[in-house]
Amino acid sequence: MNEQYDWSVVEKNILITGSSRGIGFHAALDLAKKGAHVIIVSHNIEHCKNAVTSIRDKAGESSARYYVVDLSVQDEIHHLASTVLEDYDRLDVLINNVAGWFPKYEESEDGIEMNLALNHLSYFLLTGLLFDRIMASSPARIINVSSDAHRQVKGIRFDDIQFNTKYQAYPAYAQSKLANIMFTYELARRLEGTDVTANALHPGLVGTDLYRRYGFLSPILKSIFQIVGKSPEQGAETPVYLASSPELSDVNGKYFVDKKEKRSSEASYDREAAQRLWEISEEMTDFTYLV
């Protein structure tokens, strides 16, 4: 168990992936308003510029900057990490938030199925590449944005992890969100006794552009989810809570919904599967850490 320590995000450096729009953007805006310096990472330069302009308008000139990166591409993640390490002496909070929803089978530039490449392996690799800097900045926090959709699969399909035999959008997305939680729990076990914590969360059902690949249906889905679920501002509340709350200083390896600790699916607590997923992630990224 870690020691209790005072925690505030004022002047903390916080990197959030997938933060030019949606939940990630609103988390960045809220944290900047609380006094943090936020690092926006996303793949569309116009969206990044708009995000940073909007945050600086509301939280001050030095509150935000951006890096344009396709987080499904491992070389780009390596380049991002080395630039961040050059530009920042400290990294206090890493929020792995980026994800996509892929109605049809797609592969990344590295030839990896997209749910796995973007929604899981980007979390694993970026955390690993920034890990020493995060440790050196401790107390520090790693936060992984998952989803309650993880409950829709019974486990990781180790015999066909990339859905090569028969692609199904929802199970493939759900598996990547289960992987986010298993990665968090395994990371948390390896972090025990340090002042760095790792926690995961479900932001709620949120009206965002997550379903952009459905074309003309996309804005309709977004509006429906905003009506039956949450606005992106509300969806940002749990990640902001995990990043900023002083009372969470010794909370490690938990899953949060609506700012409350909640039990995740039974499959997510399978330690053997989590270790196996870690090893596969090492192989697929050709990167090893926290052995």
* Interface residue list for ligand NAP (CB under 6 A): 18-24, 42-44, 47, 69-72, 97-100, 118, 145, 147, 202-203, 205-206, 208-210, 225
The two tokens of residue 18 are 């997938």
Residue of this chain nearest to ligand NAP (CB atom): 22
Question: 3-state class of 230 per DSSP?
Answer: strand
Toward ligand NAP, which CB reaches closer, 130 or 137? 130
Toward ligand NAP, which CB reaches closer, 126 or 140? 126
Smallest gap from residue 76 Cβ to ligand NAP (A) = 8
Look up tokens 């965002």; give the residue: 208
Smallest gap from residue 124 Cβ to ligand NAP (A) = 14
User: How much of the chain is in helix, strand and coil states, percent to nearest 5?
Assistant: 50, 15, 35
Exactly one of 173, 211, 241, 255 is catalytic; name it: 173
Cα–Cα distance, 149 to 231 (Å, whole number): 18
Look up tokens 């199925």; give the residue: 113
Look up tokens 């960045």; give the residue: 28
Smallest gap from residue 250 Cβ to ligand NAP (A) = 25
Between the alpha carbon of residue 115 and those of residues 8, 100, 104, the distances in Å are 34, 7, 11
Smallest gap from residue 262 Cβ to ligand NAP (A) = 14
Q: For this structure, is 173 an active site residue?
A: yes
Angle (CA) 221-147-279 rounded to 5° is 130
Smallest gap from residue 1 Cβ to ligand NAP (A) = 29
| Phi/psi of residue 235, nearest 5 degrees | -65, -25
Toward ligand NAP, which CB reaches closer, 17 or 137? 17
Cα–Cα distance, 193 to 171 (Å, whole number): 35
Toward ligand NAP, which CB reaches closer, 1 or 228? 228
Toward ligand NAP, which CB reaches closer, 149 or 277? 149
Active site residues: 173
